[in-house]
Amino acid sequence: MGILRPVLISVLIAGAGQMAAAACSSDTVELRGPAGVQRFHVEVADDAEEQMKGLMYREKMAVSSGMLFVFAKPKHAQFWMKNTLIPLDMIFADAAGRVTRVHANAVPHDETPIDGGEGVAFVLEINGGLAARMGIGPGTELRHPSVDQAGAAWSCAQD
């Protein structure tokens, strides 16, 4: 029994490390705020071609899904809904992964620019109306491996 205890402890420690790593996988975004933690399965758009297409022509998207736009460096970000068929919430975040602005229920096909402001490093698009229902707003922290972990508001190493 004395030998099993250290092995069990090692397995538990290894499992905890795997859970922390799983919390920060490239296909998952987590958001942490006053209303708790939300998790979305995401497609990552990190090059110009993917960012231009975004979620255009999609007729539906699972409630727990979204698209994460990752910019090489923070910028003044503007989006539109050209050829986008479903209403979206756009969650704008800075380089630390801190949400700075939320645009709720962007209207399908509307080509009016949606201004995310200056210093935008990430934009998470989810189904329209979810951000308000889940309590996602300015100050909410976004966790993803694309966030520079040295300056992350919520790093992959934190629970």
Q: Where are the domains of the chain?
A: 4-143
Token output for 156 = 């992959």
What confidence score (pLDDT) does residue 148 get?
98
> 55 and 87 in contact (C-beta within 8 Å)?
no
> Which band of pLDDT confidence, cut at 50, 70 and 90, is reported for residue 159?
confident
Q: Tell me: the pLDDT tens digits for 55-107? A: 999 999 999 999 999 999 999 999 999 999 999 999 999 999 999 999 999 99
User: In terms of Cα–Cα distance, which of 21, 45, 20, 41 is closest to 29?
Assistant: 41
Tell me which architecture the domain covering 4-143 has in CATH. Sandwich (2.60)
Sequence letter at residue 24 = C
The mean pLDDT value of the chain amounts to 89
At residue 12, does pLDDT exceed 70?
Answer: no
